Chains A and B, each alone.
Chain A
Amino acid sequence: EDQVTQSPEALRLQEGESSSLNCSYTVSGLRGLFWYRQDPGKGPEFLFTLYSAGEEKEKERLKATLTKKESFLHITAPKPEDSATYLCAVRNSGGSNYKLTFGKGTLLTVNP
C-alpha cells in the first residue's frame, strides 16, 4: 500500500524567511509525485509533477525536488500570500486510472 508522510504538520515563517517542506513516500513503482496548494474552503491547485529522482521544477518562489524516498518543496523568501496547505501525492505504476495517494499536508503560515 502506498504511503505519503508530510512534515512538519504546520510551519510558521516570517516574511522572507526561506524554508522547506518534506514529503516522504513509499510506493510500488513511482509514476509521478505531485504537489498541490490548497486554500481554506477551496479545491487543491496543481503546482508540480516530478517523475524521477534528481528532477527539479520551479515556479516563482517555489522549487520542488525529488529523490528516491522523498520530495522537498523549497520556499524562498515567502510572502503572506504563500500561506496555504501544501499537499503531496503519489501515483504508482499499477492500474490505469491515475489514482493518487495524498499526504495530510503541511499548513504554512507566513507572517508579514
Chain B
Amino acid sequence: GAVVSQHPSWVICKSGTSVKIECRSLDFQATTMFWYRQFPKQSLMLMATSNEGSKATYEQGVEKDKFLINHASLTLSTLTVTSAHPEDSSFYICSASGLAGGESSYEQYFGPGTRLTVT
C-alpha cells in the first residue's frame, strides 16, 4: 500500500517552454501533497504544499507564478514549470500524505521523482 507514482520519469525541454509533471497516489486518498526539488548530493528542499481543492502554499523563495501547482483531486497533483530555464534543471519529487487504510497518517510517501533537463 501507499504507492505514489510520477510521470514522466524524465523530461528534456528547451528553454522558454513549459513542462507539466503529474503525481498520483495509487492506493490511498492524498489529502496533502508536497513538491520537492533535489540537486545532486543535496537533500530535499520543499517547494510547496497543497491540499486537495485549495491553493498551494509556497515556501519562501519559490516563485508561485513559475511553479504552478494544482491539486484537483484526492489522487492527483500536478506541477507545471513555466518558461523553464537551465537553472530549473533538477530532480523533482512529489510526496503524498493522507488516509492510508482508512486512517490519517503523518507519513509522507514519495514518488520516484522526475528528472528535468532544460537545454
Question: Cβ of B113 and Cβ of A97 under 8 Å apart?
Answer: no
Task: Contacts A87-B44, A99-B49, A103-B43 known; list 11 others, CB within 8 Å.
Answer: A36-B110, A42-B113, A43-B93, A43-B111, A44-B110, A46-B2, A98-B32, A98-B97, A99-B34, A100-B46, A104-B42
B residues lining the A interface (CB < 8 Å): 2, 4, 6, 32, 34, 42-44, 46, 49, 51, 57, 91, 93, 95, 97, 106-113, 115
* A99 interface neighbour in B43, B46, B107, B112, Cβ under 8 Å: B46
Size of chain A's interface in residues, with CB distance under 8 A? 21
A65 to B51, CA, bound (A): 31
Known: A41-B113, A97-B57. A102 touches B44 (CB 8 A): yes
Report A45 CB to chain B, min CB distance, Å: 7
Contact A43 B112 (CB under 8 A): yes
**Residue from A36, A44, A97 having most chain B Cβ neighbours under 10 A:** A44
A34 beta carbon closer than 8 Å to chain B: yes
